Structure 1
């Protein structure tokens, strides 16, 4: 069973992602980057890591870029082999190239999606990630 972590401070976006992803596996949520790190680390300690992390960039307490970077550090600490690393998908309402570029370089993110989130946008991304079959 697939495991997803959704880190998103906006209720509507968090709710949408949670409901959408629930069709494909177990979904846990965090309301900021600091909480996401706690939840992520706990899952690794329990031997039940997340395959996919949907991480909002703009969040209180710890932004998504820092949280994503720290997830990669936690994975290295736990000696997670690259093939088993979580896919981190940055979720951003900032369509400017600089932020997206930063997401890839600084946070070692896997991919990104730009808000507004729609079923169509998510379906396309899940197909690209190999979560959904192309029909």
Structure 2
């Protein structure tokens, strides 16, 4: 088992992104218990220390909380999740627009492409 990781990004960051994605797309819900560090490490095929770092980072971001003797849970603060969703959206758009600009595409070209893509995927 395990996850195929990209070579150009730290594994712990890829795991954080994966969990954040699961929260934002609803795979993990508000207040849901996360697997234990050991369980998730085995599932992901990583060292337990790496997974511990992931959980620590998520807690520092206030996206998860640890309850003594019970484990780690997705925050119940829906405003925190909404803010995370907005931040991720802005980050993705910013990265996309920087890439578009670097290749010299015009705004009109990109808008047309997005319209075409949207129509073909409805």
TM-score, length basis structure 1: 0.27
Question: Going by fraction, where is helix more abundant, 1 or 2?
Answer: 2
